[in-house]
Chains A and B, each alone.
Chain A
Amino acid sequence: MTLIGVLALQGDFIEHIHALQRIGADTREVRLPQQLQGLDGLILPGGESTTIGKLAVAYGLMEPIQEFGKHHAIWGTCAGAILLSKDAKRHQPLLELMDITVERNAFGRQVDSFEVDLDIPALGKVAPPGRPYHAVFIRAPLIDSVSAGVEVLGRLPNGKIVAAREGHFLATAFHPELTQDDRFHKLFVEMSKSD
């Protein structure tokens, strides 16, 4: 059994837990550093990145998560992807684990939130290939730039990067946890096992 933690400081952590339960993974809500013990992987959910960052600092989670990330898989969705990034172009607490730069609220305000089908070839590892991935973007960030070691997993039709992987780190600007399509969660459980 694979045990996946979900950072439960604020945001849609229950949606992630439900998706993980659907695919048979064990789950744990993480609010304090000691709750990282024994996990195979950690998900940083959607939510408000400033809120989650401040609470992570207040409860001493930043360094333990960085330490955890040396040997374990971490996936950030939306706000979580911002936390994983090296640079969000403004002053706020970041884990700086992934060599990506993100732009917060890159599409504008809530009125500009959207749904779209994406082509994500990497999902062929966990499901029959070819089926598009229906992605939900909520006041979403964009991945502005990636370094050479980062693999781009998905782009919008206009070419902008919205999903990327670097070693055992995964970042998506959209919210697989808001859909019933569990392929990204399966991919992440596989990434957590292989470490």
Chain B
Amino acid sequence: MEQQTATFAVKKGLAQMLKGGVIMDVVNADQAKIAEDAGACAVMALERVPADIRADGGVARMSDPDMILKIMDAVTIPVMAKCRIGHFVEAQILEAIGVDYIDESEVLTPADEAHHIYKHNFKIPFVCGCRNLGEALRRVGEGAAMIRTKGEAGTGDVVEAVRHARSVLGEIRKLQTMPEEELMALAKELGAPYELLLETKELGRLPVVNFAAGGIATPADAALMMQLGVDGVFVGSGIFKSGDPAKRATAIVKATTHYRDAAILAEVSRNLGEPMVGRQISSIPDQDLIATRGW
């Protein structure tokens, strides 16, 4: 067989290498170095972390390619970058500069209110957000090689991350016990591609790697998501909006590895300084919620 690149196996494969790890939002090369030194398994390059996007308002777009390239030069770990939902030209630009993963992200302002990007057309793999099993499998159907539950980005409140992880993982558990003849009706109800639903039932998990995101701010939050059953965590504003980013980043990495060891979790949670100032999701008006973006 000739050498083949950009197959679904290699796209999905990179996400498999990230498992058990922490992917950190960074806005410049210095932060990327801090993240790498703390043990991040990848970084997400973006101009503003979600907490600032939330505070600033306005339209949030793909970051300046120059800034992303500087981060790619600064670290040896994989670099991800975000494009807007449905904005396939931003994705083409990110592919042209050679990022390792594209996040088609609800954190940016959507460019299309009905359609996501057809991701099979790209050589670079995509990660997409979801709130439930139907949304996750629609994204995989479009070609996403990795899924993350959305949570509510930029809040430091883990409640939505928990809700979305419980929703996806709970629906998969129900699927396990469901007889085959009920699957088509479930596919219709969830809006999920039937073949992918069948594959999920057979595997007992999503067909791609599934991280948690949106509101994770402490080592305990990261371990909570891991114990709920996700494969790894994204930490956005939680690290560089805290009092001591390097220390907190290291602690979250350790907590993600030793997520079932309460003695280690207690040790790494000590003296971390100020966490990011959180914002309770119940205090945010519905029109300002990010997780509802995506179709």
Q: Which residues of A contact B (CB under 8 A)?
A: 8-15, 31, 46-48, 50-51, 54-55, 58, 78-79, 90, 104-105, 108-117, 132, 134, 136-139, 157, 175, 178
Bound-state Cα–Cα, A136 to B18, Å = 16
Which of A14, A111, A112 is within 8 Å of B19, CB to CB? Answer: A14
What is the CB-to-nearest-CB distance from A177 to chain B, in angstroms, rounded to a whole number?
Answer: 9
Closest 9 CB pairs of A and B: A110-B100, A113-B10, A117-B1, A48-B41, A10-B20, A116-B3, A138-B13, A54-B39, A12-B16
Give the residue name and chain of the B residue nearest to A134 (CB): B1
- Chain A residues with CB under 8 A of B40: 51
- Chain A residues with CB under 8 A of B254: 55, 58
The residues in B between 222 and 279 inclusive whose CB is less than 8 angstroms from any CB of A are: 253-254, 256-258, 261
User: Contacts A54-B39, A109-B100, A111-B123 hold; do A104 and B19 have CB atoms under 8 A apart?
Assistant: no
What is the CB-to-nearest-CB distance from A119 to chain B, in angstroms, rounded to a whole number?
Answer: 12
- Chain A residues with CB under 8 A of B34: none
- Chain A residues with CB under 8 A of B16: 12, 15, 46, 138, 178
- Chain B residues with CB under 8 A of A138: 10, 13-14, 16-17
What is the CB-to-nearest-CB distance from A194 to chain B, in angstroms, rounded to a whole number?
Answer: 30
Q: Are A78 and B17 in contact (CB under 8 A)?
A: yes
What is the CB-to-nearest-CB distance from B12 to chain A, in angstroms, rounded to a whole number?
Answer: 9
Bound-state Cα–Cα, A55 to B4, Å = 33
Q: Are A10 and B13 in contact (CB under 8 A)?
A: no
Q: Are B78 and A139 in contact (CB under 8 A)?
A: yes
The number of chain B residues with a CB under 8 A from chain A is: 42
Q: Which residues of B contact A (CB under 8 A)?
A: 1-7, 9-10, 13-14, 16-21, 36-42, 72, 76-78, 95, 98-101, 123-125, 253-254, 256-258, 261
What is the CB-to-nearest-CB distance from B267 to chain A, in angstroms, rounded to a whole number?
Answer: 11
- Chain B residues with CB under 8 A of A137: 10
- Chain B residues with CB under 8 A of A132: 1
What is the CB-to-nearest-CB distance from B103 to chain A, in angstroms, rounded to a whole number?
Answer: 13
List 8 additional contacts besides A78-B17, A110-B124, A113-B6; criterion CB under 8 Å: A11-B21, A50-B36, A109-B72, A111-B5, A113-B5, A113-B14, A116-B3, A139-B100
- Chain A residues with CB under 8 A of B41: 10, 47-48, 51
Give the residue name and chain of the B residue nearest to A175 (CB): B13
Q: Are B17 and A116 in contact (CB under 8 A)?
A: no
Q: Are A112 and B5 in contact (CB under 8 A)?
A: yes
Q: Are A136 and B10 in contact (CB under 8 A)?
A: yes
- Chain B residues with CB under 8 A of A139: 14, 17, 78, 100
Bound-state Cα–Cα, A179 to B23, Å = 25
What is the CB-to-nearest-CB distance from A60 to chain B, in angstroms, rounded to a whole number?
Answer: 12
Q: Are B98 and A114 in contact (CB under 8 A)?
A: no
